[in-house]
Structure formats: C-alpha cells, structure tokens
C-alpha cells in the first residue's frame, strides 16, 4: 500500500494520514523499504544520503559505537529516553523513534563490518526494554531490580575505587558483594570476574561469574575475553580458544583480541604436535 502511494512529494505524516496508521510505524516501514533498496529519499532526509552503499557516515558510526559501549550500563528508561513514570503510550512512541535509527534493515546491503553486531545488539536491547516496560508485571520486577542497583551504588563505587587503586584483594571482595546483590547484571558479573582474574583469587567463582555474564549478554566481546582468560588460568586452553574466536568475530576491530587468539591457537597447535 505504501509503495502505491509514494509519488515523491508525500511525507511520512501524509502517508500516515492516508493509511490511518501511526506516523512512527509508517516511518519505520519507509526506513525498511529504503534499507532493501526499494525506495530512496531526496535531499538527505535519511541523514545518510551522501554515504556510499559500502559504509556509513562517520557521525552515524560514532553514535552507534558510543551507544553500544554504554549498553551494559544504561537502564531501559535511559535507553529509550523516557522518564521512569512514562506510560505505555509514551514508551511505545519512544521505542519507534529510537528503533528506526538502529533497525538492522536500515543498513541492509551495506558492508558495515563490526557495526553489524553492534546494531543488532542495540536493537535487541531496545526491543527488550520496550517489551519489559510495556508489561506491568515485568516492569514491576525490573523496577525492583533498579532499586536494588541504587542501593548497591556506594558498594559499586567502592569496588571501582579499589580496582583503580590496585587493591586487588579488596576489589575482589567489594565486587563479590555487588554481584551478590545484582546476580543478573552482566556488567557487574564481568567486573567481578575481571577482578578475580587480576588477583588470582577465587578462580572457580570468577569463572562462574564470567560464564553467567556471557550467558546474559553473549554479544559482548570483552565478556568473552575475560571468560577465555579465566578458562586459560584453569588449563582449559581449547575452551578458551573457542571463546576468543567468538570474541574476534564479534569485534574484529579489536587487534588485541586477534593477537591473543593467534598466540593461543599457536600454543594449542604446538601442544597437539
């Protein structure tokens, strides 16, 4: 229906009126049609008109990377850009406004390299945020988790300070306390596992935390690197190598991951011969 209405002059608001549908949904459909090459936009209305099909504009790339880097530290409300008191209509509007910027279809047919996994992770997180906040029971449970996170903020700051000061034993104890309060926070579990790795204490517990962090968010390359290092400390070289191979695919721009993987691969091959 949208394709039959396009004449080069109508805007999303006009098409929404003709279709009797919300403008956000119409704009999302237009973005998807543009992403697969069925339509184009005039005068740079997509914000990326001057970008060749093989890439994305520098400002778009920077925006994606910056949001991805914050993804494990931002709550559902912050991710969607709504207040904690927002009603379902406001959440739905915010979701459509944000999702159209990060929908994977927007970059269909472009060679965007490591950005592909980041865009998918962002869009998945936004969808999870919307689904959670639109469901009364899930939202109540999530809000309770946020309140717990606020109560542990001082403990978290203390753990970060001990980490920065090089007090490895104190950092492990502090991160363990935070992880006990937030057992489903992937970032906290990762920080605890990393503290364990640096100190050499409680390796088995750190390995468990690192494994749970990866299970919570399998798209984070750094979580897998920490897990690989802990597996290696336990003598499980082949399992560590598998995690590094996944991490390298997730973030091929990280040369340190590639070097770590190559060195361990050579070591495993040497052991086999």
pLDDT at 19: 56
* pLDDT > 80? residue 271: no
Based on the fold, state whether residues 164 and 138 are members of the same structural domain.
Answer: no
Q: By residue range, what is the domain housing residue 115?
A: 2-143
pLDDT at 47: 43
Residue 210 lies in a domain: yes
Phi-psi sector, 109: left (phi>0), alpha (psi -120 to 50), beta: left
Nearest to 224 by CA among 235, 236, 234, 210: 210
- The label of the residue with tokens 């459909």 reads 29
Structural domains of the chain, count: 2
Based on the fold, state whether residues 120 and 161 are members of the same structural domain.
Answer: no
Based on the fold, state whether residues 130 and 38 are members of the same structural domain.
Answer: yes
Summarize pLDDT for 4-52 with one digit per residue, the tens. Answer: 555 554 566 556 555 556 666 767 777 666 655 556 555 444 444 444 4
Based on the fold, state whether residues 133 and 175 are members of the same structural domain.
Answer: no
Asked if residue 210 lies in contact with residue 193, where contact means CB atoms within 8 angstroms, the answer is yes
Based on the fold, state whether residues 7 and 135 are members of the same structural domain.
Answer: yes
- The label of the residue with tokens 């990393």 reads 194
Based on the fold, state whether residues 162 and 65 are members of the same structural domain.
Answer: no
Based on the fold, state whether residues 115 and 210 are members of the same structural domain.
Answer: no
Based on the fold, state whether residues 90 and 215 are members of the same structural domain.
Answer: no
What 3-state DSSP class applies to 136? helix
Based on the fold, state whether residues 232 and 136 are members of the same structural domain.
Answer: no
* pLDDT > 70? residue 224: yes
Determine phi and psi for 223, rounding to 5 degrees. -65, -40
Summarize pLDDT for 83-107 with one digit per residue, the tens. Answer: 999 999 999 999 999 888 888 888 8
pLDDT at 40: 59
Q: CA–CA separation, 157 vs 144, rounded Å?
A: 20
Based on the fold, state whether residues 16 and 116 are members of the same structural domain.
Answer: yes
Counting residues of the chain whose pLDDT is more than 90, the rounded percentage is 51
Helices 203-216, 221-233: crossing angle, 10 deg rounding: 150
Phi-psi sector, 224: left (phi>0), alpha (psi -120 to 50), beta: alpha
Tell how far CA 125 is from the center of its chain. Answer: 6
CATH number at residue 136: 1.10.287.110
* pLDDT > 70? residue 179: yes
Residue 148 lies in a domain: no
pLDDT at 11: 61
Q: CA–CA separation, 207 vs 218, rounded Å?
A: 15
Based on the fold, state whether residues 265 and 189 are members of the same structural domain.
Answer: yes
Q: CA–CA separation, 125 vs 129, rounded Å?
A: 6
Tell me the DSSP string of 239-270.
Answer: HHHHHHHHHHHH-TT-HHHHHHHHHHHHHHHH
Residue 83 CB coordination number (10 Å): 10
Based on the fold, state whether residues 89 and 182 are members of the same structural domain.
Answer: no
Mean pLDDT throughout 156-179?
93
């Amino acid at each position: 229906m949208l394709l039959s209405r396009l004449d080069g002059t109508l805007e999303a608001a006009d098409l929404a009126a003709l279709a009797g549908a919300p403008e956000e949904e119409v704009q999302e459909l237009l973005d998807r049609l543009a992403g697969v090459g069925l339509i184009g936009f005039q005068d740079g209305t997509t914000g990326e008109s001057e970008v060749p099909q093989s890439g994305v504009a520098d400002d778009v790339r920077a925006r994606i990377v910056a949001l991805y880097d914050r993804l494990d530290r931002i709550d559902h409300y912050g991710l969607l850009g709504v207040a904690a008191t927002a009603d379902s209509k406001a959440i739905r509007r915010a979701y459509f406004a944000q999702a159209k910027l990060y929908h994977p279809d927007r970059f269909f047919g472009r060679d965007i390299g490591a950005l592909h996994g980041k865009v998918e992770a962002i869009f998945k997180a936004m969808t999870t945020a919307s689904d959670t906040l639109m469901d009364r029971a899930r939202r109540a449970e999530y809000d309770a988790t946020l309140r717990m996170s606020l109560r542990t903020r001082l403990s978290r700051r203390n753990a970060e300070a001990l980490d920065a000061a090089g007090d490895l034993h104190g950092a492990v104890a502090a991160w363990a306390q935070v992880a006990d309060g937030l057992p489903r926070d992937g970032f906290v579990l990762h920080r605890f596992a990393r503290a364990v790795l640096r100190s050499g204490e409680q390796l088995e517990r750190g390995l468990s935390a690192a494994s749970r962090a990866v299970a919570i968010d399998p798209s984070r390359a750094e979580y897998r690197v920490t897990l690989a290092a802990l597996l290696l400390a336990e003598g499980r070289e082949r399992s560590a190598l598998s995690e590094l191979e996944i991490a390298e695919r997730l973030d091929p721009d990280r040369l340190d991951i590639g070097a770590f993987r190559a060195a361990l691969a050579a070591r495993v091959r040497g052991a086999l011969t």
